[in-house]
């Protein structure tokens, strides 16, 4: 069974944390409608959508990816780099405890799930403004028990590692080579985003398909030409909050 944990858009979304984007007005009503279409796309690809409790006073709570890393063997509750986001982890831990045993990142470590890209038994960790070396080291210690290799990856110009690179098929990554160096992933095939769509590297792979923002049509066409099934969703309002399609769910396999 594929589980996708999501959370409703907070009515306070417009007060979200921002690092690399200017603050633009966010239409929260449209963001809510777009998020519902995103959840419908998850269901269309066979996922069981499980909604975490609402957090109306936490603006960024819809971006559940940052609160945890869920592996086959364990769920690791993160410690987000933005202090305002740390309260989001409490309710997420409760949800995930029904499916996995839990481990935690502890102070002074910080780790955002958006900085973590797992490809097979390798876990790439972006060293961003939200994830520090102590957080990466704690993660490495935790996952060593199950034989994962952790590799630190420098990024520049974007919020998270998965703003710059995501997996879109077996042995294929979608990447913005201006934000992360392709040679960091030397053994994996690379596809670059369209030059006019620098934020287009964030795609959510589920099986042989990807959920992808419809406002990056040139990159979507590149994916389709490469044989990737693309399921387009609207997400312009969440993008104003530095969110992408991976940010809005935690997807993992669980016992039915």
Q: CATH number of the domain that 116 lies in?
A: 3.75.10.10
The pLDDT, as a whole number, for residue 51 is 98
The two three-digit tokens of residue 60, written as one number: 């960024």
> Domain containing 78: what range?
2-253
Closest CA to 89 of 63, 67, 112: 67
The pLDDT, as a whole number, for residue 225 is 97
Which whole number is the average pLDDT over 191-214?
Answer: 98
Q: How many domains does the chain divide into?
A: 1
Tens-digit pLDDT profile for residues 28-44: 999 999 999 999 999 99
Query: Sign of the C-alpha dihedral, residues 110, 252, 198, 39?
Result: negative
The pLDDT, as a whole number, for residue 103 is 98
In angstroms, rounded to a whole number, what is the distance separating the alpha carbons of residues 226 and 229? 9
The pLDDT, as a whole number, for residue 99 is 98
160 has catalytic annotation: yes
Tens-digit pLDDT profile for residues 143-159: 999 999 999 999 999 99
Tens-digit pLDDT profile for residues 206-240: 999 999 999 999 999 999 999 999 999 999 999 99
pLDDT at 256 exceeding the cut of 90: no
The pLDDT, as a whole number, for residue 231 is 98
Cβ contact 22:244 at 8 Å:
no
Tens-digit pLDDT profile for residues 73-120: 999 999 999 999 999 999 999 999 999 999 999 999 999 999 999 999
Per DSSP bridges, beta strands 75-77 and 68-70 are antiparallel
pLDDT at 125 exceeding the cut of 90: yes
The two three-digit tokens of residue 29, written as one number: 């009503």
Phi, psi (degrees; rounded to nearest 5) at 6 = -125, 175
**60 Cβ contact list (under 8 Å, min separation 6):** 10, 13, 16, 17, 66, 82, 84, 85, 88, 241
247 has catalytic annotation: yes
Catalytic residue among 16, 158, 247, 248: 247
The pLDDT, as a whole number, for residue 186 is 85
Report how far apart, in Å, the C-alpha atoms of 87 and of each of 103, 114, 149, 250 are.
17, 17, 29, 17
pLDDT-derived band of residue 166, with 50, 70 and 90 as boundaries? very high
Catalytic residue among 16, 35, 158, 160: 160
pLDDT at 17 exceeding the cut of 90: yes
């Amino acid at each position: 069974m594929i589980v996708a944990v999501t959370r409703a858009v907070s009515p306070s979304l417009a007060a979200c944390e921002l690092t690399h984007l200017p603050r633009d007005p966010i239409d929260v009503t449209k963001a809510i409608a777009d998020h519902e279409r995103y959840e419908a796309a998850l269901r269309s690809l066979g996922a069981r959508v499980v909604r975490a409790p609402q957090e109306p006073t936490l603006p960024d709570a819809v971006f559940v990816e940052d609160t945890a890393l869920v592996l086959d063997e364990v769920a690791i509750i993160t410690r987000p780099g933005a202090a305002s986001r740390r309260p989001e982890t409490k309710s997420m831990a409760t949800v995930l405890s029904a499916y996995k045993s839990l481990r935690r990142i502890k102070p002074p470590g910080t780790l955002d799930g958006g900085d973590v890209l797992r490809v097979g038994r390798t876990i790439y960790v972006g060293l961003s403004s939200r994830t520090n070396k102590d957080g990466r080291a704690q993660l490495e210690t935790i996952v060593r028990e199950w034989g994962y290799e952790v590799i630190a990856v420098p990024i520049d110009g974007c919020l998270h590692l998965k703003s710059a690179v995501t997996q879109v098929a077996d042995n294929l990554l979608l990447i913005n080579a201006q934000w992360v160096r392709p040679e960091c992933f030397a053994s994996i095939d690379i596809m670059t985003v369209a030059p006019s769509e620098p934020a287009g590297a964030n795609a959510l792979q589920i099986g042989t398909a990807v959920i992808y923002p419809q406002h990056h049509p040139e990159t979507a066409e590149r994916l389709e030409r490469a044989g990737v099934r693309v399921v387009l969703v609207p997400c312009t309002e969440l993008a104003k909050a530095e969110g992408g399609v991976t940010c809005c769910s935690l997807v993992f396999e669980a016992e039915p």
